[in-house]
Amino acid sequence: MYEELKKILDKSKRIVFFGGAGVSTESGVPDFRSANGLYHAQQVYDRSPEEMISYSFFRDHMNIFYDYYKNNMIYQNAKPNKAHLALAELEKVGKLSAVITQNIDGLHQMAGSKNVYELHGSVLRNNCMRCGALYNLDYIMDPKNCLDEEGEQTWVPRCTKCGGVVKPDVVLYEEALDETVISGAVDALSKADTLIVGGTSLVVYPAAGLIRYFKGNNLVLINKSKTQYDSRADLVINQPIGEVLGTCVL
């Protein structure tokens, strides 16, 4: 299987990678839909992860939202793994034209990838909902930036300029995906000769539906478990994606 993937990579000129949570789990970033993620959300907050990171929950229960978000979705010590590094290398040598990711951790850029379409945004970018001021991740994680109008400690980060709430640039449930990001991803997919889908079971929509825009020659699926698209793929590898891409590229 690895030799077959190497042959595909050698022949390809415009590769696009579409990735999900499985790409980052090898960096120690757990999938919040995993058994542990579901258990923690139910046991600690008595709610599902999907409810916790919905826009209506953010709006109505902001302090609890940030408690959950900061303790379950932020992994500041995570580093790129072999999958991230291999994709950056493929881009560097002119083989890979774009990375399309459902992840919000910024690890692709940290590895060196330049053309990354972040379908669900990024924890690294944050902006004031009132005045639009921009803040990094360190800012919203610092407790001294999370004081209410009475000076009481909360989980909610506040803008130093106007006192507004600072919201992560992350697409929450009930929010629409960014049209510019979608347009760029669709354009990249439509021009690709090879699509590598990795670390995703392709069940999260509308993101997963984007792969229908791929009309190229080679569809490669790399995922630990089976997916609904396996029968359509030219090559299926049920192994950890870091191991696969690391072996074939690095």
Catalytic positions are 120
**Angle subtended by helix axes 2-11 and 241-249, to nearest 10:** 60
- Beta-bridge partners for 197: 18, 221
Largest distance between two CA atoms of the chain: 63
**Are 228 and 209 a contacting pair, CB within 8 Å?**
no
Query: Two tokens at 215?
Result: 């009309």
In this structure, what DSSP letter does residue 177 have?
A: P
Closest-CA residue to 121 (of 56, 178, 184, 183): 178
How many angstroms separate the CA atoms of 222 and 195, rounded? 11
Tell me phi and psi for residue 220, to 5 degrees: -115, 130
Write down how long the chain is.
250
DSSP secondary structure of 96-123: EEEEEES--S-HHHHHT--SEEETTEEE
